[in-house]
């Protein structure tokens, strides 16, 4: 039985929801899971965990700064353990951009971060216009218009492939 830390950085809560599903999958395999935000885990004793997973969402083309700060501050510990990173973004709704080697945000992360995770995944996110602030809603609608995504302001569209999330959870269970 492994002691696994799953950390997340989320803007609207969807990345946390993905992490909660990973937690369920991993706990079904008799592992212990601690779930926390990257900010909450800033002072965590990472050495007490056997494996570490970090999930981060994209907003306006970027991962949040605290993801990079956490990875840089803890790179030696991360590198010493089985570890994984996944990104959540709406671009991944397109099959040609849904894999770590083809997703532009995963590529940016790997170029910008000194930490090079051992296991990678990309998950498509969610559009929920009614829960966005006014300007966020307008900007995201414009981005969706450019990229031929949903633009109706009443849209709630979840693009996440939950079978892929569960398969990633199984890979985390067997990471060495």
Full domain range(s) for residue 145: 127-157
Question: For helices 14-27 and 162-174, what crossing angle results, to 10°?
Answer: 50
**139 and 105, same structural domain?**
no
**164 and 148, same structural domain?**
no
Asked whether 5 and 45 are in contact (CB, 8 A), the reply is no
Q: Which backbone phi and psi does 94 adopt, to 5 degrees?
A: -90, 125
**44 and 17, same structural domain?**
yes
Considering its fold, how many domains does the chain have in total? 2
Q: Which backbone phi and psi does 81 adopt, to 5 degrees?
A: -130, 160
pLDDT (0 to 100) of residue 44: 85
Residue 43 has pLDDT above 90, yes or no: no
pLDDT tens digits for range 83-139: 999 999 999 999 999 999 999 999 999 999 999 999 999 999 999 999 999 999 999
Average pLDDT of the segment spanning 128-156: 95
| pTM of the complete model | 0.95
pLDDT (0 to 100) of residue 73: 95
In this prediction, residue 55 has a pLDDT band, given cuts at 50, 70 and 90, of very high
Provide the CATH number for the domain around residue 67.
3.40.50.360
**Cα 8 to Cα 174: distance, rounded to the nearest angstrom:** 20
**79 and 115, same structural domain?**
yes
């Amino acid at each position: 039985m492994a002691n696994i830390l799953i950390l997340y950085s989320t803007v609207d809560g969807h990345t946390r929801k993905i992490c909660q599903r990973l937690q369920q999958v991993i706990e079904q395999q008799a592992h212990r899971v601690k779930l926390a935000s990257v900010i909450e885990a800033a002072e965590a004793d990472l050495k007490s965990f056997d494996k570490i997973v970090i999930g981060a969402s994209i907003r306006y083309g970027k991962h949040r700064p605290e993801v990079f700060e956490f990875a840089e501050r803890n790179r030696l510990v991360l590198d010493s353990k089985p570890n994984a990173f996944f990104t959540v973004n709406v671009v991944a709704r397109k099959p040609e951009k849904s894999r770590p080697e083809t997703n532009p945000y995963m590529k940016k992360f790997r170029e910008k971060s000194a930490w090079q995770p051992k296991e990678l995944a990309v998950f498509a996110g969610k559009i929920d216009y009614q829960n966005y602030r006014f300007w966020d809603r307008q900007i995201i609608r414009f981005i969706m218009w450019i990229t031929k995504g949903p633009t109706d302001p009443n849209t709630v569209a979840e693009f996440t492939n939950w079978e892929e999330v569960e398969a990633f959870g199984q890979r985390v269970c067997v990471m060495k």
